[in-house]
Amino acid sequence: MASKESMELRGVIARNQRWDLIVGTVGLLATALGVIILTLLFLDLVLDGWRRLTPEFFLNFPSRRPEEAGILSAWVGSALVMIVTAFTAVPLGVAAAIYLEEYAPKNWITELIEINVTNLAAVPSIIYGLLALGLFVYILGFGHSILTAGLTLGLMILPIIIVATREALRAIPVAIREAAYALGATRWQVVSDHLIPYASGGIYTGVIIGLSRAIGETAPVITIGALTFIAFLPPIPFSGDPPAGPFDWLFSPFTVLPIQMFNWLSRPQSAFHVNAAATGIVIIVATLAMNGIAIWLRSRIRAKLKW
């Protein structure tokens, strides 16, 4: 009897191992197929646009002559918009996640907030553009400016940062909290001295993934009125006559890399399409660099925690 049950158990284990192997193989093939397709598309983009990746391409303004056109105003606009986005979304998102995870009482209000935060992470980006058009442009009067774009993209990635930060906090063992409380630490001391350092790897990852999504968004910035052709830069603080204020650049018109790429793709001349391919290379490399930084920070922080 025992031998029969042992044989049945071995059969179940062998069957489960076969299914594990099948599922793992299918998952590996699907991942490899996606990576191969993305690699081929990126190589095609590189073959089309690598010739335009010169210093002049980064230092020239857009032009009606494709061989003289550059992305100076676009990459400067993208950088400034990302600065506003980071200063808007990161402190608010991390603080909201800490409150919901460590301070908020567990009742129907917080459950409703958690459901809405999770759902907002899947809302199409065009909805955030329409919201920003009504709120920031018309009601608050910020206009079609860098400030409006940064606040819009900040709202868009806010749920991503909140969810990532909460997951990083949940991954910390309960024993760390209990040990800190046992030694007389206050709740804020537990959060600031223990939880945030241990969760910082996941927090950084969520922040950079959110920013890397924001840098490639087109629909929201088109909705709020980003310019498709701009041949000037935002005012530099304390420069010009009369001198610009320290925050005048926030209310300056702008364009970003995806808008510039879209503008060139809409032109019939093939030379502009080459410029668009070069701009696409810049966007992809920037996104990959940001994700690489996230992986490096996470591994570095984990290594320090092990010590």
pLDDT digits 0-9 by tens, 174-233: 888 888 888 888 888 888 888 888 888 888 888 888 888 888 888 888 888 877 788 888
Nearest alpha carbon to residue 299 among 169, 165, 200: 200
Residue 85 pLDDT exceeds 90: yes
Residue 2 pLDDT exceeds 80: no
Q: Which residue has the tokens 């926030």?
A: 250
Those residues with Cβ within 8 angstroms of residue 150's Cβ, 6 or more apart along the chain or in another chain = 80, 81, 82, 83, 84, 85, 87, 88
257-278 pLDDT tens trace = 989 988 898 888 888 899 999 9
217-251 pLDDT tens trace = 888 888 888 777 888 888 888 887 778 888 888 99
Tally of CB atoms within 10 A around 45: 18
CATH architecture of the domain formed by 55-306: Orthogonal Bundle (1.10)
Nearest alpha carbon to residue 257 among 216, 285, 223: 216
d(CA 226, CA 137): 12
Could you give the percent of the chain with pLDDT greater than 90? 19
Residue 91 pLDDT exceeds 90: yes
- What is the structure's pLDDT at 239? 81
d(CA 82, CA 283): 13
Residue 83 pLDDT exceeds 60: yes
d(CA 120, CA 128): 10
CA–CA–CA angle 131, 153, 82 (5° rounding): 150
- What is the structure's pLDDT at 153? 92
Residue 306 pLDDT exceeds 70: no
- What is the structure's pLDDT at 116? 86
Tokens of 245: 């204020």
Q: Which 3-state string (H, E, C) describes 205-255?
A: HHHHHHHHHHCCCCHHHHHCCCCCCCCCCCCCCCCCCCCCCCCHHHHCCCC
Residue 102 pLDDT exceeds 90: no
25-57 pLDDT tens trace = 998 999 999 889 988 988 988 888 888 888 999
Alpha carbon of 159 to those of 23, 88, 275: distances in Å?
32, 13, 34
Nearest alpha carbon to residue 211 among 106, 38, 117, 88: 88
Those residues with Cβ within 8 angstroms of residue 178's Cβ, 6 or more apart along the chain or in another chain = none
Q: What is the mean pLDDT of residues 148-155?
A: 92
Could you say which DSSP state residue 193 is in?
I
Concatenate the DSSP letters of all residues of 19-33 into one string.
HHHHHHHHHHHHHHH
Please state the domain extents for the chain: 1-52, 55-306
CA atoms within 13 A on the CB side of 154: 22
Residue 307 pLDDT exceeds 70: no
110-142 pLDDT tens trace = 888 888 888 887 788 888 888 888 889 888 888
Q: Which residue has the tokens 């079609």?
A: 144
For residue 134, give the 3-state DSSP assignment.
helix
- What is the structure's pLDDT at 32? 92
